[in-house]
């Protein structure tokens, strides 16, 4: 069995790898909406939920060094666990995610600006709590909605998962036209027969 490689790669090390022309594939596990807003040139968008559901299909086309990217590292960590459990050990996580990459001033491709998933979760959770607390003045039982949201956020922090984030990621706002497994696998296959186009 191959020994697992170090789990993280800092932005400068990834930039150096990409510039060296070595065989590395950058896989961005954010939602298509987040990816379309900003991404590392040449990255492939494989949203976390699709990666989990179609792990074996993607695994067959990820034989080079893989660097997983998300906004800050949380979703990339979950993707890394999924791939390592399936036996892929040439996996790294971009330390600091897109936030770290941009903070270092490295190039990105920008599209239509959209809110990232974590910001959407804060908006929805905060709105639910505020509305239920204010509404509890007239309907006292609404305070339990605020308690439920607080409990959900606590569980999300402890389990490093977020049910609200998973639900929000399925909204049309966060989905792109190319967000289906066959299209993504086709992109991965095409990249093996031709140099990756740095889009």
Q: What is the pLDDT of residue 93?
A: 95
Question: Who wins on pLDDT, 10 or 114?
Answer: 10
Q: Specify whether 135 is located in the same domain as 149.
A: yes
At 11, is the pLDDT very low, low, confident or very high (cuts 50, 70, 90)? very high
Is 143 domain-assigned? yes
Is 60 domain-assigned? yes
Q: Specify whether 57 is located in the same domain as 138.
A: no
Q: Specify whether 151 is located in the same domain as 92.
A: no
- Say how far apart CA 135 and CA 97 lie, in whole Å: 38
Q: 109-110 and 44-45: which strand pairing? A: unpaired
Taking residues 22-35, report their average pLDDT.
90
User: Could you tell me the sign of the dihedral formed by the alpha carbons of 84, 117, 171, 153, in that order?
Assistant: positive
Is 85 domain-assigned? yes
Q: What percent of the chain has pLDDT over 70?
A: 86
Interval 113-154: pLDDT, tens: 878 888 888 889 899 999 999 998 999 999 899 899 988 888
Is 2 domain-assigned? no
Q: Specify whether 101 is located in the same domain as 189.
A: yes
Q: What is the pLDDT of residue 177?
A: 57
Q: Specify whether 125 is located in the same domain as 103.
A: no
For the chain, first and last CA: distance in Å?
35
Is 134 domain-assigned? yes
**Structural contact between residues 129 and 152, judged by C-beta atoms closer than 8 angstroms:** no
Taking residues 55-83, report their average pLDDT.
87
41: buried, middle or exposed (CB in 10 Å: 19+, 13-18, 0-12)? middle
CATH number at 21 reads 3.40.250.10
Is 162 domain-assigned? yes
Does the structure show a pLDDT above 90 at 197? no
Q: Specify whether 92 is located in the same domain as 34.
A: yes
Q: Specify whether 18 is located in the same domain as 67.
A: yes
Taking residues 68-88, report their average pLDDT.
89
Q: Specify whether 71 is located in the same domain as 27.
A: yes
Is 3 domain-assigned? no
Q: Specify whether 110 is located in the same domain as 133.
A: no
Q: What is the pLDDT of residue 190?
A: 65
At 29, is the pLDDT very low, low, confident or very high (cuts 50, 70, 90)? very high
Q: Specify whether 18 is located in the same domain as 85.
A: yes
Q: Specify whether 189 is located in the same domain as 137.
A: no
Q: Give the Cα-Cα-Cα angle 10, 39, 82 (nearest 5 degrees).
A: 65
Task: Tell me the residue range of the domain where 123 lies.
Answer: 117-168
Does the structure show a pLDDT above 50 at 199? no
**Number of domains comprising the chain:** 2
Is 54 domain-assigned? yes
Q: Specify whether 81 is located in the same domain as 18.
A: yes
């Amino acid at each position: 069995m191959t020994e697992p490689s170090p789990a993280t790669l800092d932005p400068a090390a990834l930039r150096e790898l990409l510039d060296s022309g070595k065989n590395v594939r950058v896989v961005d596990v954010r939602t298509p909406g987040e990816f379309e807003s900003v991404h590392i040139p040449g990255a492939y968008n494989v949203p976390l939920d699709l990666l989990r559901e179609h792990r074996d299909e993607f695994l067959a086309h990820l034989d080079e060094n893989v660097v997983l990217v998300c906004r800050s590292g949380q979703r990339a960590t979950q993707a890394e666990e999924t791939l390592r459990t399936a036996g892929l050990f040439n996996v790294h996580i971009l330390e600091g995610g897109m936030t770290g990459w941009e903070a270092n001033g490295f190039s990105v491709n920008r599209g239509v600006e959209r809110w990232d998933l974590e910001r959407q979760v804060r908006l929805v959770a905060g709105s639910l709590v505020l509305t239920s607390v204010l509404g509890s003045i007239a309907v006292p039982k609404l305070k339990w909605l605020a308690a439920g949201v607080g409990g959900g956020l606590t569980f999300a922090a402890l389990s490093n998962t977020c049910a609200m984030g998973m639900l929000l990621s399925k909204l049309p706002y966060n989905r792109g036209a190319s967000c289906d497994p066959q299209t993504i696998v086709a992109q991965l296959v095409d990249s093996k027969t031709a140099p990756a186009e740095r889009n």
